[in-house]
Amino acid sequence: MATQELETLFGQAGDLLNQRLDNLMKIFVNRDPNFCCGYLKAWVIVDY
């Protein structure tokens, strides 16, 4: 049950990031390209 709830919560968090935060980042593409680049790099999943 707890695992299913986590799956739902992660899905909701992903939707929030994709719908709101990613759209907000469009403002920073020209204003602060380094900040925007850092944000995009933070999305990369590193699997060691």
- Tens-digit pLDDT profile for residues 1-48: 777 789 899 889 888 888 888 888 888 889 999 999 998 888 888 887
Which of 22, 39, 47, 16 lies closest to 8, judged by CA? Answer: 16
pLDDT at 35: 93
The count of residues in the chain is 48
Whether 36 contacts 28, CB under 8 Å: yes
* Domain range summary for the chain, segments of one domain joined by +: 2-42
Name residues whose C-beta falls within 8 Å of residue 40's C-beta, 6 or more positions apart in sequence. 25
| Whether this model's pTM surpasses 0.85 | no
